[in-house]
Structure 1
């Protein structure tokens, strides 16, 4: 994520990047790290609590790529729908393949039987994980847009900037980005390019290396405007 951290740091922001449990290159992958998405905003709030205990931290912006895009807006009040999540877990609604963790859903089912215990866990997924300290959000190729409630999207009261790739087949615009763009009152954004893929934001040698550098600069400009 250097392409995002670098421009923010150069703009004078203090930047903190998180290694979410079960979904990072240090500790490895667990299916919960990809499918228990509602745990991620709680990670961010925990880190903010720690930082606030050390020194004043000022206005806060959250930027996220892919699943991190959902994480960012969850901190502004967006909630997932437990009923839709249950449908995904049971196979009633197909789950797109996760490139980093093929078979994540099958791995989760081996750990948690499809019974009332799992349903109880999913009911907690619809809780409000908003953090009032978050003043602005920037999403890049966001995910989970098809799993969130339209009612919660309408409650977001902070500015939200969005960028996406026109050739993204991992988090397609119509399914994952458009719900955020259309139903968050303060959302605005644009495509990073008609041929830009999801992979162009994280591959070591992407086909369009200049795209993510440009989006990183646009994120810095966005936060300069809304966190000044």
Structure 2
């Protein structure tokens, strides 16, 4: 058990035998979990929120979003996405094969469901994680655009956490194997267990097909920063305009992408406000944690 601020979480690592470790193909893909439980634990399963971190981040760094959810009574699980988290280090596939992220989440839900009954499930993601949770709702990547990015026909913005990531990928992954991954990128990764999605400054919007966004039926809330140059509004709008039931708002005209993750950021009020909005959103769409599945006679 780890104590972080007022919230307590435990950490463990799952292994997905269907996919390989990016450093050692003889081993299964690792997925590290950070699990927060509401205290006291309710008699019936509390709604579960699963959280996906941003590029090069970690589930352990998402407590700014997790804290208000746990305080509201939700059960919360944040993930480390293999090859893209600062705990274990970086691999080029972790930055470029984003479609593996929603698979991490679905695998985690499968594992948790084997241990105990799941309550209603929601998903929240920041930046790269914003795409991942949208994919669980039905967003699908355009494989042709992915191929163009990897071929540098479509420019890839420089990634500060991994300069030269495309060159590193070409050095590591053979062309025939890369074609397999590109074909895999366009798969439908919808997970019917996800009932609501909360995106914060989501990435990858321009790579997602408009038809897949139009098919999303569950509630989606989208928050962005008015001064964000990493996930600017015209990219956020791919999701906002494309998802029929999506609602959204700016966190403020001065809010940058960094304000959501940088420990040195001074604009923590906006970040805290967004986290409280997430708790309100999930309470509205998943039910109050203390009231889920409560018999009518006890309401």
Q: TM-score, normalised by structure 2?
A: 0.74
**Which residue number corresponds to residue 22 of structure 1?**
83
Conserved 8 A contact 1:96-1:170: no
Q: Where in structure 1 do 4 or more consecutive aligned residues deviate above 3 Å? A: none
| Greater shift in the superposed pair: 47-56 or 93-102 | 93-102
Following TM superposition, by how much is the alpha carbon of 1:104 offset from its aligned partner in structure 2, in angstroms? 1.7
**Which residue number corresponds to residue 134 of structure 1?**
194
Q: 2:228 aligns with which of 151, 168, 176?
A: 168
Provide Cα deviations, 1:76-130, integer angstroms capped at 9, x if missing partner: 11000010001001111001112322222221121124x3432222011100011
1:212 aligns with 2:271: yes
Could you tell me which runs of 5 or more consecutive residues in structure 1 were left unpaired when the two chains were aligned.
Answer: none
Number of residue pairs aligned between Structure 1 and Structure 2:
226
1:221 aligns with 2:280: yes
Q: Which has the higher helix share?
A: 1
Larger radius of gyration: 2
For 1:103 and 1:66, the matched residues in 2 are separated by: 20
For 2:202 and 2:146, the matched residues in 1 are separated by: 17
For 1:75 and 1:99, the matched residues in 2 are separated by: 27
Could you tell me which runs of 5 or more consecutive residues in structure 2 were left unpaired when the two chains were aligned.
Answer: 1-61, 288-299
Q: TM-score, normalised by structure 1?
A: 0.96
Following TM superposition, by how much is the alpha carbon of 1:186 offset from its aligned partner in structure 2, in angstroms? 1.1
**Which residue number corresponds to residue 32 of structure 1?**
93
For 1:31 and 1:60, the matched residues in 2 are separated by: 30
For 2:141 and 2:237, the matched residues in 1 are separated by: 16
Q: Which has the higher strand share?
A: 2
For 2:176 and 2:94, the matched residues in 1 are separated by: 21
**Which residue number corresponds to residue 118 of structure 1?**
178
Following TM superposition, by how much is the alpha carbon of 1:55 offset from its aligned partner in structure 2, in angstroms? 0.8
Q: 2:162 aligns with which of 83, 98, 101?
A: 101
For 1:116 and 1:171, the matched residues in 2 are separated by: 32
For 2:191 and 2:149, the matched residues in 1 are separated by: 27
| Greater shift in the superposed pair: 117-126 or 213-222 | 117-126
1:178 aligns with 2:237: yes
